[in-house]
């Protein structure tokens, strides 16, 4: 977030491939670096991946432009407004991007999540919950979050480590529960999610 560049987060091996391809398109479309965020569990996982045909694109020669690429104070001051404008455009794009997906099932429980935490939630809750799976985790969308929360009775944010998504939701004025149930430390699991949201214990292979 501090770097003011987009971050996208895959949840399995297939998405690692697809999101990497989309990150290049994303970068060219908005003229920005893109961070592909991988957690340990996703990086170490194995799952089926559907390949696609290689696409050869026109080579774009590098043009030296220190005013754009060398952020000395004088250049940074002039570039800052363009960076903020770019973030606004990316946030607007995030509202309809294929990287963010809504899955409506039972609306008693709504889950806003990203990355491998989505897999944990799906395996723990199945169709007993609805899901807002965020592939773009910076900048985060606004309208899609508000709309999803309005359709669910209780909404939980499941994210490993820092409460980035939860803080965004609170800033929007929507009621969610997150770190009061989940730790800021370590990895989660299916058991962690099930126990926190339903007070049930379950065994998973």
Which are the contacts of 60, defined by CB distance < 8 A and separation ≥ 6? none
Q: Which two tokens stand for residue 48?
A: 């089926």
Question: Is 66 in contact with 75 (CB distance < 8 Å)?
Answer: yes
Phi-psi region of 172 (alpha: psi -120 to 50; beta: other; left: phi over 0): alpha
Stretch (H or E) spanning 27: helix 13-30
pLDDT of residue 205: 42
CA distance linking residue 128 with residue 107, whole number of Å = 8
CA distance linking residue 191 with residue 45, whole number of Å = 18
CA distance linking residue 122 with residue 192, whole number of Å = 12
pLDDT of residue 55: 84
Which are the contacts of 197, defined by CB distance < 8 A and separation ≥ 6? 109, 124, 125, 129, 156, 181
Question: Is 135 in contact with 31 (CB distance < 8 Å)?
Answer: no
pLDDT of residue 121: 95
pLDDT of residue 59: 87
pLDDT of residue 120: 94
pLDDT of residue 204: 44
Question: Is 162 in contact with 184 (CB distance < 8 Å)?
Answer: yes
Each of the 205 residues of the chain gets a pLDDT tens digit; together they read 889 999 999 999 999 999 999 999 999 999 999 999 999 999 998 888 998 888 888 888 889 999 999 999 999 999 999 999 999 999 999 999 999 999 999 999 999 999 999 999 999 999 999 999 999 999 999 999 999 999 999 999 999 999 999 999 999 999 999 999 999 998 999 999 999 988 765 454 4
Q: How many CB atoms lie within 10 A of CB 180?
A: 10
**Among 96, 28, 85, 31, CA closest to 57:** 28
Q: Which two tokens stand for residue 192?
A: 């962690």
């Amino acid at each position: 977030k501090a770097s003011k560049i987009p971050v996208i987060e895959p949840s399995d091996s297939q998405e690692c491939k697809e999101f990497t391809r989309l990150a290049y398109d994303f970068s060219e479309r908005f003229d920005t670096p893109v961070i592909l965020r991988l957690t340990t569990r996703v990086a170490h996982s194995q799952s089926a991946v559907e390949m696609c045909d290689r696409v050869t694109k026109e080579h774009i020669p590098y043009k030296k432009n220190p005013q754009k690429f060398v952020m000395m104070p004088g250049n940074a001051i002039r570039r800052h407004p363009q960076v903020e404008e770019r973030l606004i455009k990316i946030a607007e794009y995030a509202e309809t991007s294929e990287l963010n997906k809504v899955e409506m099932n039972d609306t008693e429980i709504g889950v806003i999540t990203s990355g491998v935490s989505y897999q944990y939630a799906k395996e723990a809750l199945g169709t007993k919950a609805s899901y807002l799976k965020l592939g773009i985790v910076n900048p985060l969308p606004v309208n899609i979050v508000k709309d999803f929360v309005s359709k669910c009775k209780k909404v939980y944010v499941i994210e490993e480590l820092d409460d980035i998504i939860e803080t965004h939701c609170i800033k929007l004025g929507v009621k969610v529960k997150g770190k009061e149930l989940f730790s800021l430390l370590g990895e989660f699991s299916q058991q962690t999610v099930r126990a926190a949201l339903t007070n049930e214990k379950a065994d998973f292979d």
